[in-house]
């Protein structure tokens, strides 16, 4: 009896042991089951970061195989951090942009998207990397300026699915008289052109895009600000793992901390914030009436420089007047001092060709003296500042910048300290002493704006080119 029970017990134990082994093997198999790769792993395995965007002057542009744009450069830095290639995938409009993200064709959106409550319901945003304002704009001279929504009379058109459309829906509930529409057929750029063509009366626009467009369309006038401190951020899918999202947040934080985002925003937007209607109109008029005669000379002597940059410099100096003189003794198209002219082999500063050649050579010399570690475009801005205030004073400002904890190789940091050369407490500790340091700041800013305008006008085919002409030569006068 006992033996029989013992045998049955052994069989039960054997069965239990077999069952336990089966369970153990099943658990082991489950433990080794491959989990799907995370969002970050997918990007790294693919070797490519796919970023959805909208093509415009503030986000991403591709011209002559050269890619540029605030969002593009910021995204390129992120791709470099991940050690992968960057693929920018532009959408036609916002609807297509949402679809790219929803269908997994892109990993994130970097398109100057402002954060709204409605968008938070469908997108997951990073912390803001930039803040803008939104403006209601119209063409100057077509109507009296409205000061608030109650005074707005006329057609307003905005982009479908934009935050501007969200705002108009809210405003219409408060101001039923507003006449407005949303369109998927045009982007913000095109709506500004429609305002200029008087096809529509008003549109809403983000301030950084408006700042750029007013360089070409000075008659775009601001009625009033409709939203202040609007945050811009990258957008991710609302669901899924946080791996890529978390790395993006860390990257943007590092870019803020290092000052790179501030440098990037200065590169694209810093020089266009100040707008002078009269000066912009005068510059465009001068392009139409004066520039054509001198384009062959700017092109001939530009060397490695962009001839349009050289032309912008010349306009800042003399308004393209070969006979220009100043009380301080500088003269000609490039307003050279007599010692500078002599060092450049210029026989007469009042001869347009001699002046342009000498000015181009002098700017190239200034650029060659900028430390090699300083990258473009800051290298060019430093060279322009040195052309105006001298290399010695520029280096003094860079030393002050370093003393104050700024980056002496960043134009955005140095331009903040250049005006300190007017103050005794600062210039008395420098090698070259007092200087009107605020002047090169305005000087470089103006040239950058003129240059941007020339680039755009040239791309639009609006610069009147002409055949080279004989320009009067003033003679070999050593004091000219």
Q: What is the mean pLDDT of each run of 10 residues along the chain (480 residues)?
A: 42 46 48 75 96 91 83 96 96 93 96 93 93 95 94 96 95 95 92 94 94 88 94 92 95 92 84 75 92 96 96 96 87 94 94 96 96 94 96 96 95 94 92 93 93 90 69 39
CA distance 322 to 319: 9
pLDDT, position 19: 47
For the question of residue 317 being annotated catalytic, the response is yes
Per domain, the residue ranges of the chain are 278-459
| Rg (the chain; Cα; Å) | 31
CA distance 98 to 104: 10
pLDDT, position 7: 44
pLDDT, position 30: 52
- Going by CATH, does the domain composed of 278-459 fall within 1.10.530.10? yes
Neighbour count for residue 53 (Cβ, 10 Å)? 24
pTM: 0.74
Q: How far is CA 184 from CA 59, 92, 93, 161, 223, in A?
A: 19, 9, 7, 8, 24
Tell me the sheet residues that pair with 125: 235
pLDDT, position 433: 93
Q: Which of 317, 376, 402, 439 is catalytic?
A: 317
Neighbour count for residue 221 (Cβ, 10 Å)? 19
pLDDT, position 33: 56
């Amino acid at each position: 009896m006992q033996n029989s029970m013992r045998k049955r017990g052994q069989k039960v134990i054997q069965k239990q042991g077999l069952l336990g082994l089966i369970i153990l093997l099943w658990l082991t198999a489950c433990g080794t089951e491959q989990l799907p790769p995370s969002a970050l792993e997918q990007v790294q395995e693919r070797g490519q970061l796919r970023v959805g965007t909208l093509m415009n002057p503030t986000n991403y542009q591709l011209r002559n195989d050269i890619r540029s744009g605030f969002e593009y450069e910021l995204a390129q830095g992120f791709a470099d951090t991940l050690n992968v290639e960057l693929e920018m995938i532009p959408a036609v409009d916002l609807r297509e942009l949402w679809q790219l993200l929803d269908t997994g064709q892109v990993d994130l959106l970097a398109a100057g998207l402002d954060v709204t409550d409605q968008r938070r319901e469908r997108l997951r945003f990073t912390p803001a990397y930039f803040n803008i304002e939104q403006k209601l704009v119209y063409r100057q001279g077509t109507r009296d300026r409205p000061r608030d929504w109650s005074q707005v009379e006329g057609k307003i058109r905005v982009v479908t699915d934009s935050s501007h459309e969200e705002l108009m829906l809210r405003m219409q509930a408060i101001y039923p008289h507003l006449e407005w529409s949303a369109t998927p057929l045009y982007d913000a750029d095109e709506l500004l052109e429609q305002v200029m063509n008087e096809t529509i009366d008003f549109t809403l626009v983000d301030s950084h895009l408006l700042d750029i467009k007013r360089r070409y369309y000075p008659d775009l006038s601001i009625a009033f600000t409709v939203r202040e401190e609007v945050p811009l951020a990258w957008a991710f899918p609302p669901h899924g793992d946080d791996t890529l999202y978390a790395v993006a947040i860390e990257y943007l934080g590092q870019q803020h901390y290092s000052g790179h985002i501030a440098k990037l925003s200065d590169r694209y937007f810093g020089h266009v914030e100040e707008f002078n209607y009269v000066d912009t109109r005068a510059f465009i008029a001068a392009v139409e009436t004066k520039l054509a005669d001198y384009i062959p000379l700017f092109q001939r002597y530009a060397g490695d420089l962009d001839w349009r940059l050289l032309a912008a410099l010349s306009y800042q100096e003399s308004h393209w007047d070969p006979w220009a003189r100043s009380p301080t003794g500088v003269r000609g198209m490039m307003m050279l001092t007599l010692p500078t002219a002599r060092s450049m082999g210029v026989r007469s500063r009042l001869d347009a060709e001699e002046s342009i050649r000498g000015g181009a050579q002098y700017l190239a010399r200034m650029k060659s003296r900028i430390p090699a570690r300083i990258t473009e475009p800051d290298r060019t801005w430093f060279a322009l500042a040195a052309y105006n205030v001298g290399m010695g004073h520029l280096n003094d400002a860079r030393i002050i910048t370093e003393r104050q904890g700024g980056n002496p190789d960043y134009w955005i940091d140095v331009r903040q300290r250049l005006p300190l050369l007017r103050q005794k407490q600062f210039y008395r500790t420098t090698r070259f002493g007092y200087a009107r340091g605020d002047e090169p700041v305005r000087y470089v800013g103006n040239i950058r704006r003129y240059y941007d305008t020339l680039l755009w006008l040239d791309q639009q085919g609006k610069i009147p080119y002409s055949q080279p002409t004989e320009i009067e030569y003033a003679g070999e006068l050593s004091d000219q």
